[in-house]
Amino acid sequence: MMVSTKGRYALIVMIDLAKNQGDSYVSLADIAERQNLSMKYLENVVSILNKGNMLQSLRGKKGGYRLARPVADYKMSELLSLTEGSLAPVECIKNNDISCEKAASCMTLPLWVGLDRAIEEYLSKVTLEDVINGDRKKMLGNWCVECNSY
């Protein structure tokens, strides 16, 4: 699984909104300027987030975007599934549907299904709040940053 630019930018937008919205809406131009990202590309990303009910939007002079829920209510699995479509490591198990005629005899299928489950389990445990708070223990588990190993 490789997270696309769309998925990475969506996370950046969510973090920026969480840090900057206060009681008001945040303009896309402000996010683009703060994050040094293309306004045109952010428009596409925000459209996906808005349609996925992750954001609230308001038109007009004081308009913009804000999070629709508290940061603790956003799971990374939800955000990345919305922007990426599927987090499956291989095509044949996309959308929880094993679509290969060789599935019954495929020696690697259990490996891919197990990896898919591990990705989903991990991402469903990490919230936007964890990312913003830098909860390295929750995100890295037993990984030792200093020694670069477990």
State the DSSP H helix or E strand holding residue 120, giving kind and residue range, or none if neither.
helix 109-125
Domain of 41 in residue numbering reads as: 5-67
Residue 134 lies in a domain: no
Instruction: Give the model confidence (pLDDT) of 112-121 as tens digits.
Output: 999 999 999 9
Residue 124 lies in a domain: no
Decide if 93 contacts 106 (C-beta within 8 A): no
Q: Which residues contact 133 (CB under 8 A, 6 or more apart)?
A: none
Residue 31 lies in a domain: yes
Residue 26 lies in a domain: yes
Residue 97 lies in a domain: no
Distance CA 15, CA 11 (A): 6
CATH number of the CATH domain containing 44: 1.10.10.10
Residue 48 lies in a domain: yes
Residue 28 lies in a domain: yes
Q: Indicate the number of domains in the chain.
A: 1
Instruction: Give the model confidence (pLDDT) of 77-119 as tens digits.
Output: 999 999 998 888 888 888 777 777 888 888 999 999 999 999 9
Q: What is the pTM of this model?
A: 0.86
Mean pLDDT of the chain: 90
Instruction: Give the model confidence (pLDDT) of 17-36 as tens digits.
Output: 999 998 899 999 999 999 99
Residue 9 lies in a domain: yes
State the DSSP H helix or E strand holding residue 65, giving kind and residue range, or none if neither.
strand 64-67
According to DSSP, residue 44 is labeled H
Counting DSSP H helices and E strands in the chain, the numbers are 7, 2
